[in-house]
């Protein structure tokens, strides 16, 4: 039997186990009205006890079914890593082969293979023989068998997927971030971590220059587009009811499309997971982690939530990370970043 077929069989077993446990735990939580109506019944079954589910998955599988044993330019595997017990839904055990000045983790939905392909061709394409940075995609599970097969092929080809054992859902972004942070500090050696979504453009050379500047702190660093004294929405898409959060203000945070953290901050966040209750707005949750650890935010205008009309598909002089960039704009902005006019 081929390695690829064995891997797919193991993935199916993992998903069956995960589904069964999620259903049983969902029955326990069914009588509680903890989340607002926007979360949905499907997610209520899945947002349960991470530790118990993780223990069951690893006890049954004992290995990572989605991890290739082959080496790539950025990653390899180790026989020791399967002994590590994870705190989150993380199942990938691939390790970085070297130290990186910058590790970019890209949150991506399982079905967004075109976005991932485009990112690999543009700003995430590393041309150096000795790269200072690398990137991975954070991807959860899907109930679509065709998409699941695409993900297996994708990881076989690129070896840049970091996988979680839960099913993907918009309100599961916090779990995705937690498992991404845990993977980073457990299996990688890096100075800074840049978290982005798969609909952004990243001007990697500028980010590296910004981080290497003498004025940039190398520790206790959290930077992005600083949201100060944000007010919780009590209605609409990001509605949060008083049972979830009863204060009038959130801690300061950076929107989730892009922010950068120093290694020690990521480590502190992972160590704080067990003492900070789950909150489904991932960027707010990161702000809560920062507040709990006494970490202040450095505002940087290069993290662009919006841009002037004349700069559509064109980097400004400050652009580090731009939000909401389509595939065509990705290529145009990349070409302008590499070959400025």
Dihedral angle computed from the Cα positions of residues 152, 156, 161 and 164, in that order, rounded to the nearest 10 degrees = 40
pLDDT at 14: 54
Domain boundaries, the chain: 99-301
pLDDT at 16: 47
pLDDT at 85: 82
In three-state secondary structure terms, 155 is helix
Please check the confidence at residue 236 and state whether its pLDDT lies above 70: yes
pLDDT at 333: 96
For residues 313-333, one letter each, b for 16 or more C-beta atoms within 10 angstroms of the residue's C-beta and e for the rest, the string is bbbeeebbbbbebeeeebbbb
pLDDT at 309: 86
Please check the confidence at residue 320 and state whether its pLDDT lies above 50: yes
pLDDT at 341: 64
pLDDT single digits (tens) 64-115? 333 333 333 444 333 344 457 898 999 999 999 899 999 999 999 999 999 9
Confidence band of 307 (pLDDT split at 50, 70, 90): confident
pLDDT at 4: 55
Residue 87: both structure tokens together:
């705190």
Considering the domain 99-301 in this protein, what is its CATH number? 3.90.550.50
pLDDT single digits (tens) 272-293? 999 999 999 999 999 999 999 9
For residues 184-219, one letter each, b for 16 or more C-beta atoms within 10 angstroms of the residue's C-beta and e for the rest, the string is bbbbbebbbbbbbbbbbbbbbebbbebbeeeebeee
Please check the confidence at residue 119 and state whether its pLDDT lies above 80: yes
Query: For 114-123, what is the mean pLDDT?
Result: 97
For Cα atoms 160, 102, 305, give the angle at the middle one, nearest 5 degrees: 90
Confidence band of 238 (pLDDT split at 50, 70, 90): confident
Confidence band of 29 (pLDDT split at 50, 70, 90): very low
Q: Which of 190, 325, 183, 187 is nearest to 258 (CA)?
A: 325
């Amino acid at each position: 039997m081929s390695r690829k077929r064995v891997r797919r069989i193991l993935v199916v077993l993992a998903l069956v186990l995960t589904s069964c446990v999620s259903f049983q735990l969902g029955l326990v939580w069914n009588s509680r009205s903890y989340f607002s109506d926007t979360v949905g019944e499907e997610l209520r079954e899945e947002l349960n006890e991470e530790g118990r589910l993780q223990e069951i998955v690893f006890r049954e599988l004992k290995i990572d079914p989605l991890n290739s044993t082959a080496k790539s330019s950025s990653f390899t595997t180790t026989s020791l890593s399967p002994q590590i017990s994870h705190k989150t839904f993380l199942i990938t055990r691939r390790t970085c082969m070297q130290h990186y000045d910058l590790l970019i983790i890209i949150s991506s939905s399982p079905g967004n293979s075109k976005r991932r392909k485009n990112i690999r061709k543009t700003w995430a394409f590393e041309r150096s023989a000795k790269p200072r940075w690398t990137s991975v995609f954070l991807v959860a599970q899907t109930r679509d068998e065709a998409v699941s097969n695409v993900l297996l092929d994708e990881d076989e080809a690129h070896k840049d997927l970091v996988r979680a054992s839960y099913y993907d859902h918009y309100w599961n972004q916090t779990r995705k971030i937690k498992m991404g942070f845990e993977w980073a500090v457990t299996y990688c050696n890096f100075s800074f971590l840049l978290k982005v979504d798969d609909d952004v453009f990243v001007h990697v050379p500028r980010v590296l220059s910004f981080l290497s500047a003498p004025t940039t702190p190398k520790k206790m660093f959290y930077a992005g587009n600083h949201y100060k004294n944000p007010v919780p929405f009590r209605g609409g898409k990001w509605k949060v009811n008083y049972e979830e959060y009863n204060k009038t203000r959130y801690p300061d945070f950076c929107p989730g499309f892009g922010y950068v953290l120093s290694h020690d901050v990521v480590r502190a966040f992972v160590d704080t997971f067990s003492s900070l209750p789950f909150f489904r707005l991932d960027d707010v949750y990161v702000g809560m982690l920062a507040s709990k650890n006494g970490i202040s935010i450095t505002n940087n205008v290069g993290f662009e939530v919006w841009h002037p009309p004349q700069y559509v598909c064109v980097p400004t002089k400050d652009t580090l990370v731009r939000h909401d960039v389509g595939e065509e704009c990705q290529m145009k902005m990349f070409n302008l970043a590499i070959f400025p006019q």
